[in-house]
Amino acid sequence: MLRIISSVVAATAVAFGAQSFAAGLINADDVSASSQFNGQFSPFYTIDGSGLPVGFDETSIHDDYALDNHWTTSRTGGPVGQNITWFFANPQALSGMWVWNHLSNIISSNLQYEPVLVDLEAKNLGGDTVFNFTNVELLPNEELPQFGAAQLISFGDLYGDIFSITLTVIETQGSTSFTGLAEVRFTDMVVDGQIPVPAAGWLLATGLAGAMLRRRRSKAA
């Protein structure tokens, strides 16, 4: 399994009146999650632009972790298996998603909340699976070219008729209590430089230039 850091992506999804915040950025219209710490750590904060500048794009840096700008799970049950689902009002054709990972700083109680291994499942309006990717890697902020940067998950192709996308946390950077995300946007634009990953069908990229390949991180103790 490889991680790619560069500035490219593609994806497919279905959206409820999907909004474009920047060229190629598509926002979900609704969201739900398996849990939230409280109302100031709602999954809604992954789609409202909180913690990002007005007119942001995939190169924008997210603010530090604070109230009302991150989704953070409850402690009950731990982070593994926690999930978040984004919904779209009208079917969208998408090729990837930009993820601002949890910053896990400032107000964090035990740090390292970032999901580093996730599953992704997209469904159409009828509930049928459009794609199901397992063991997709995300970088923790410490390994990004800039702390708080976005990274791209490419779906490897343009998929249509997507009503929802669910991300399930399989592994965190280290926390056994909490997990979550800062912000997410989707895209239907395929960027030059995309690299197909045999069997896995996904590509990870940041919104900053430069490229780096590295093998999957060893599991946290």
Q: Which residues of the chain have pLDDT under 70?
A: 1-23, 190-221
Q: What's the rounded Cα separation, in Å, for the pair 128 and 140?
A: 32
pLDDT digits (tens, 9 = 90+) for 138-182: 999 999 999 999 999 989 889 999 999 999 999 999 999 999 999
CATH of domain 2-214: 2.60.120.260
The per-residue pLDDT for range 31-51, each reduced to its tens digit, is 999 999 999 999 999 999 999
Specify burial of residue 72 (Cβ count, 10 A radius: 0-12, 13-18, 19+).
buried
CA distance 171 to 118: 7
